Chains A and B, each alone.
Chain A
């Protein structure tokens, strides 16, 4: 069978097939191009002053809630654990200011609006840290690295807030051959990752080196959207410098990826960089890769090399504020404080969004605290539109990066046919909102999908 049907020819035929189906418009493209509105990509990161009080909900991650380990009246220092992980898939929470535990109470979760246990700390203004134990990561064993990540309470800072130590402990049968660094930052407005890459590329690379050492991988791709030329340049410079110092393997490259929402989602990023799809219901490790956000890598470096727990992150405060800024803020800082630092609101702003405008969560109060994984606070003017009937235009199908048929979810959810949802692979939807963004009938498709998933899940668990 050699000669006529060798691998090269098969590949050639495959390529021709791909071109033809592409030309006929039969291949999935997906994604939308919302206005980028990255007002702050040229603004240096500033440190926000410490708040007088921090509110720390104990659910700041995917998985079991953390369990409080302090009681009312305890003196705490910055970085001191105040809540231990509630299981393996969970993350510890640390004091983000030094001071006194004022209250153990119930607070509204900025993620769901539902009441969750929380710790309130009154700051003493001294900002006293716990004693940090810096080490050289090269001398650490894999177990020690994982333990340090776990103790630092690191979660995926791209917004998913999945506990990082879990992600870094793949089962032995998973053969990880590459790391993908997620610097896409495809959400409009947000520039936290962009600025971090511009200002502290070395910290990100140092974190990447630790992860590569841990998983004994020598290949890494740093995916950055083309609309961030400065970030691409700075990351490339830092990589070249590290390679020159022989501290980074040669197979670490920056990949400029198309600027399209939702490019920064794990699955679309893997497809864009490796050209393969993550199997449905599976994780990136099933195609031999692991995706880490740039801010998470910087946090891994801080935790492993400096012994510093995760207590702060870069937050872009933008939208209808007088002076949009990139701020380093401690978790638990009320958003109102950050908004005041940016000169307050303008132009009839009446909505506060945590996270990007596409997937972020509208808050019921301005003083809700920012948490792990919230890299953006947006002040916006509400844009509530009347829902109209679906005209079956099919735009939602065209823009769905997962190749789904969102309008069918709306139809089934309206009719209450929740069984049909699974038939249309509703579980594959990660709620990026591209469908609702482009819907001419203003149908809140994502809300229908959330309802549908919840009902389906409830029926299946019965």
Chain B
């Protein structure tokens, strides 16, 4: 719009002066043109992303507390690789690189869903896959079909299966200690509610503490970044289905990656439906898939694949679930007030 000027108004010596800036005689009427609205809100992609980073710091801190400094090393590796990969791929595609925080979020999420003693080279390879294949190959931010962090997690799960099934017991507070190899609660079906809620169980680095994930989730809700419907319907479906099938609903909700998935993965803007009803369909579908995989699948855990599968049907959900436009359907209703 800029520079699109029509200056055919007859100039009038008294009126053509510039009352905005009378001291600028060279270009007395230079004004900036821009399309409406001229007032903009404070929402920005960067702000959204850094709020997510802030919220993720809680489960990340939990990972470090429960599984030692090695967890911090994994986080740093994943984030560094993600940001670097974004920079390289953007340069290769000759697109401007901007530090909008989305690569940090992907890197952090990827590290948080990895087993706490994963070899660093696998973390690096996975993180590079997240950005290069999971996001940039589709066209960058906003274009990817699958949640990049989960795409990377699925990639390393199938590529390096042997190295990634070794989970360890938490060593709460002892940062340098080495945990003992142990089965996750979902695999051996045993843990107290208290341990599950606080996170003092074996599991992926950032998935074990429901408490810390809830704090992070509360931050996202408080800033209006996510809608409550997604986690509530997702977790609710798992709980209700678990109950109906004679399982322990609390165990199914607290064990495994459901909490982290429900608050941080399923709610990913790019790969989840646009409308609230669409989000509810997504959440319920993902919840059903979690139970199906956990009870009848070969894997002990199904959160990552449930979300990836629902990511795939998101375009379909968006195609058929749209808001009802104002003035449609209700056609012909007479004035109610008279």
A residues whose Cβ falls under 8 Å from a Cβ of B: 24-26, 28, 32, 34-35, 51-53, 55, 103, 105-108, 113-115, 120, 177-178, 188, 219, 267, 271, 273-282, 287-289, 334, 336-337, 339-340, 344-345, 349-353, 357-368, 378-380, 382-385, 388-395, 397, 400-405, 407, 424-425, 428, 431, 433, 436-442, 444, 446-447, 450
Contact = CB atoms under 8 A, between A and B. Distances in A.
Contacts of A25: 227-229, 276
Nearest to A319: B38
Contact of B7 (A108, A177, A276): A108
B213 to A, nearest CB: 21
Contact of B12 (A28, A52, A177): A52
B20 A345 contact: yes
A276 B335 contact: yes
Interface stretch (B67-75, B257-265, B321-329): B321-329
Contacts of A105: 10
B336 A275 contact: yes
B31 A350 contact: yes
Given A28-B324, A383-B40, A389-B143, 7 more contacts: A114-B6, A219-B338, A280-B331, A359-B36, A366-B19, A366-B20, A367-B16
B142 interface: yes
B92 interface: no
Contact of B326 (A345, A402, A439): A402
A351 B19 CA distance: 12
B19 A340 contact: yes
A407 B338 contact: no
A282 B334 CA distance: 13
29 contacts: A24-B280, A28-B323, A53-B15, A113-B4, A113-B6, A177-B335, A178-B338, A219-B338, A267-B327, A279-B330, A280-B331, A288-B334, A288-B335, A334-B12, A349-B20, A350-B20, A362-B34, A362-B35, A363-B31, A364-B6, A380-B38, A385-B40, A391-B45, A392-B269, A397-B274, A407-B274, A425-B328, A440-B47, A442-B40
A282 B325 CA distance: 13
Contact of B8 (A108, A353, A390): A108
B180 interface: no
Contacts of A431: 36
Given A388-B45, A437-B39, A444-B35, A393 B277 contact: no
A441 to B, nearest CB: 6
A393 B337 contact: no
Contact of B19 (A339, A382, A389, A404): A339
Nearest to A338: B19
Contacts of B325: 280, 402-404, 425, 428
Interface in B8-37: 8-12, 14-22, 29-37
Given A336-B18, A380-B38, A364 B327 contact: no
B311 to A, nearest CB: 12
Contacts of B276: 24-26
Interface in B36-68: 36-41, 43-45, 47-48
A383 B48 contact: no
A26 B142 CA distance: 25
Contacts of B143: 389
Contacts of B328: 280, 403, 425
Interface of B: 1, 4-12, 14-22, 29-41, 43-45, 47-48, 98, 100, 140-143, 227-229, 269-270, 274-277, 280, 322-328, 330-338
Contacts of B11: 367
A344 B17 CA distance: 11
Contacts of B17: 336
A361 B37 CA distance: 9
Q: Is the interface of B mostly helix, strand, loop or mixed?
A: loop
Contacts of B47: 440
B145 to A, nearest CB: 11
Contacts of A446: 35-37
B31 A366 contact: yes
B20 A274 contact: no
A339 B15 CA distance: 11
Given A405-B274, A442-B44, A352 B20 contact: yes
Contacts of A287: 333-335
A397 B276 CA distance: 10
For the complex of A and B, list the 8 residue pairs with the smallest distance between their C-beta atoms, beginning with the closest: A433-B37, A280-B327, A345-B20, A288-B335, A382-B32, A440-B43, A357-B39, A389-B142
B6 A267 contact: no
Contact of A403 (B324, B335, B338): B324
A188 B332 CA distance: 34
Given A365-B9, A440-B48, A52 B14 contact: yes
Contacts of A219: 337-338
Contacts of B4: 113, 364
B10 A103 contact: yes
A35 B41 CA distance: 9
Given A336-B18, A440-B47, A442-B44, A26 B39 contact: no
A274 B141 contact: no
A424 B275 CA distance: 14
A378 B45 contact: no
Contact of A395 (B1, B30, B43, B323): B43
A384 B41 contact: no
Contacts of B338: 177-178, 219, 288
Contacts of A393: 48, 269
A358 to B, nearest CB: 4
A383 B275 contact: no
Given A366-B20, A428-B326, A447 B35 contact: yes
Contacts of A394: 269, 274-275
B229 A24 contact: yes
Given A336-B17, A365-B7, A440-B45, A358 B36 contact: yes
Given A28-B324, A345-B20, A357-B37, A276 B8 contact: no
A277 B39 contact: no
Contact of B335 (A26, A289, A397): A289
B39 A358 contact: yes
A51 B14 CA distance: 10
B270 to A, nearest CB: 5
A232 to B, nearest CB: 20
A411 to B, nearest CB: 10
Contacts of B332: 279
A275 to B, nearest CB: 5
Contact of B330 (A51, A52, A276, A281): A276
A352 B334 CA distance: 43
Nearest to A345: B20
Contact of A404 (B35, B37, B323, B331): B323
A238 B45 CA distance: 49
Given A383-B40, A394-B274, A442-B40, A364 B45 contact: no
A391 B280 CA distance: 19
Contacts of B21: 345, 349-350
Contacts of B1: 447
Nearest to B323: A403
